[in-house]
Amino acid sequence: MNKYIIEGSFPLKGKIKASGNKNSALPCIAATLLTDSEVILKNIPEIEDVRVMFEVLKSLGVKVSRKSHGVYSIITTDIKSSEILAEHANNIRASILFAGPLLARTGKVMMPPPGGDVIGRRRLDTHFLAFTALGAQIEIDGMFRLNANKLVGADIFMDEASVTATENAIMAASIASGKTTIMNAASEPHVQDLCNMLNSMGAKISGIGSNILYIEGVKKLGGTEFEIGSDFMEVGSFIGLAAVTRGELEIENADPEHLRMVKIAFNKLGIHWETDGSTIRIPSGQDMRVSPELGGMIPKIDDSPWPGFPADLTSIMTVVATQVEGTVLIHEKMFESRMFFVDKLIGMGARIILCDPHRAVVSGPARLRAAELVSPDVRAGMAMVIAALCAEGKSVIQNVYQIERGYESLSEKLISLGAKIERV
């Protein structure tokens, strides 16, 4: 099992380029099953989750070839199986994204419940409600078994704005018979990427970027060459990293238009950046002081569906808040266990009161001490890396597999910025 050894208290300075959006890459990879023509995907991050998704495609009989860094050719002429193997499903929650395209292409799917991060209950009901509305029959006996002689367009109202459930519904409806309306749809940039990719393949999807999608099913989709957008979760993580290490960072290809709510949240902590086209510059010498709300009230950073503050960055903001003068409430509404990693921060010297599984009051600044840590999930793991980089002494972070599932070439990028980090 790989680990990071990190010596903290060094300001990070330099320039990096944002990686491709992991959360765009995964559904776009699954969507290649909807056509028997070649699809070329560009700007794909070279991370563990992507590798597993490609392994799933290969197990189904799909030809996957790497053309260059981040560029892949996928040819799905023949699909030899409609079963997702447990060895793949257990490793990645995004394996559920194969259900929609397999059901639409082959009329059947068999798979075990997906694995992935352990951050509380992550329900799948919304996926199956959408599939049922489109005409699928579902059996659950320890395995998920979906069958559909024919998918027919429907009026679907999602019981929650689930990103992956929205993506599954979009993929299944794209080649269903008739028209589909998806209301209360997720509208994150990665959902938009999927819709734009499918439209480039011949799908007819409108309402992209809103919470109401209109899909007119087509008989067949063709091939395409599509480049996914940048990973705003990675960008947000590196903004926090630059701030807490008192460094100076330039992030190219950062897609600032996707960071408007993230910018508001960082501004509450006295952290600002400059924008030049698609480049973001985080200067040194940040104020790093909490801005009280009107009347002197303690401000709150809370997550919500797009375009609200992204849930995946609440772990990052919790660590950043430990280095800022003042008090802030972090309210993570979506997952019951995501905030439990804060006991590790408290052990490092952070001043945090965990009110309940969803809320933490953070007072800063606190001098963090090095510690032995274990990464529980992608985002909490990255938060621990940030904490270790601004802590005094040498920290060890175990289970970095979890971190590298979502961050491309992380140790190499950090070393290029002057971090004292060793991957063992």
pLDDT above 50 for 95: yes
What integer pLDDT is reported at residue 217 of this predicted model? 97
Q: Is the pLDDT of residue 235 over 50?
A: yes
The pLDDT of residue 120: 42
With contact defined as beta carbons under 8 Å apart, do 44 and 228 qualify? yes
Strands, sheet with 420-423, edge to edge from the N-terminal-most edge strand? 372-374, 394-398, 3-7, 420-423
Per-residue pLDDT tens over the stretch 137-167:
999 888 889 999 999 999 999 999 999 999 9
Q: Find the angle CA(387)-CA(390)-CA(395) to the nearest 5 degrees.
A: 65
Read off the pLDDT of each residue in 99-117 and give the average, rounded to a whole number.
Answer: 85
Read off the tokens for 385. 């890396």
pTM to 2 decimal places: 0.93
Fold adopted by 22-227 = UDP-n-acetylglucosamine1-carboxyvinyl-transferase; Chain (3.65.10)
Q: How confident is the model at residue 216 (pLDDT cuts 50, 70, 90)?
A: very high
65 forms beta bridges with 73
CA dist 160 → 183, 304, 307, 417 (Å): 10, 12, 15, 40
The pLDDT value recorded for residue 115 is 65
pLDDT band at 122 (very low <50, low <70, confident <90, very high): low
pLDDT at site 143: 87
- Here the tokens at position 189 are 């940039």
* Alpha-helix runs per DSSP H in 124-258: 125-133, 163-174, 189-200, 232-244
> What are 161's two structure tokens?
């704005």
Domain pair 3-19+230-423 / 22-227, same fold? yes
Segment 64-70 long-range contacts (CB within 8 Å, at least 24 positions apart)? 67/40, 70/20, 70/42, 70/43, 70/44, 70/45, 70/46
What gap in Å lies between CA 101 and CA 36, rounded to an integer? 12
Q: Which of 90-94, 132-136, 381-385, 417-421 bottoms out in mean pLDDT, i.e. has the lowest?
A: 90-94
Residue 381 confidence (pLDDT) above 90: yes
Q: Is 191 helix (H, G, I), strand (E, B) or coil?
A: helix
The CATH code that applies to domain 3-19+230-423 is 3.65.10.10
Q: What tens digit of pLDDT does each residue of 281-308 get?
A: 999 989 999 999 999 999 999 999 999 9
- Measured distance CA(210)–CA(196) in Å, rounded: 13
Q: Which residue in 219, 114, 231, 208 sits closest to 176, CA to CA?
A: 219
Residue 32 has phi, psi (to 5 degrees) of -65, -20
Ramachandran angles phi, psi of 179, nearest 5°: -100, 145
**Which residue has tokens 């919304």?**
126
- Report yes or no: 198 and 31 within 8 Å, Cβ to Cβ: yes
Residues 183-212 pLDDT 10s: 999 999 999 999 999 999 999 999 999 999
Task: Tell me what pLDDT residue 121 has.
Answer: 47
Residue with tokens 């393949």: 201
**Judging by beta carbons within 10 Å of its beta carbon (0-12, 13-18, 19+), is residue 68 exposed, middle or buried?**
exposed
Whole-angstrom distance, CA of residue 57 vs CA of residue 396: 35
Q: Which residues are catalytic?
A: 117
Radius of gyration of the chain (CA): 22
Encode pLDDT of 401-423 as tens digits: 889 989 999 999 999 999 999 99
d(CA 364, CA 134) in angstroms, rounded, equals 51
- Residue 326 backbone dihedrals phi, psi, to 5 degrees: 125, -175
Residues 154 and 135: their CA atoms lie apart, in Å, by: 9
Residue with tokens 């959360």: 23
Domain boundaries along the sequence of the chain: 3-19+230-423, 22-227
Q: What pLDDT, on the 0 to 100 scale, is given for residue 90?
A: 77
Q: How confident is the model at residue 223 (pLDDT cuts 50, 70, 90)?
A: very high
HEC profile of 49-64: HHHHHHHHHHHCCCEE
How buried is 77 (Cβ within 10 angstroms: 0-12 exposed, 13-18 middle, 19+ buried)?
Answer: exposed
C-beta of residue 373 within 8 angstroms of C-beta of residue 398: yes
- Tell me how far CA of residue 360 lies from CA of 43, 50, 236, 339, 375, in angstroms: 36, 32, 20, 8, 19
DSSP 8-state symbol, 17: E
pLDDT at 214 over 50: yes
Q: How far apart are CA 232 and CA 19, in angstroms?
A: 9
Q: Locate tokens 């950043």: which residue?
A: 320
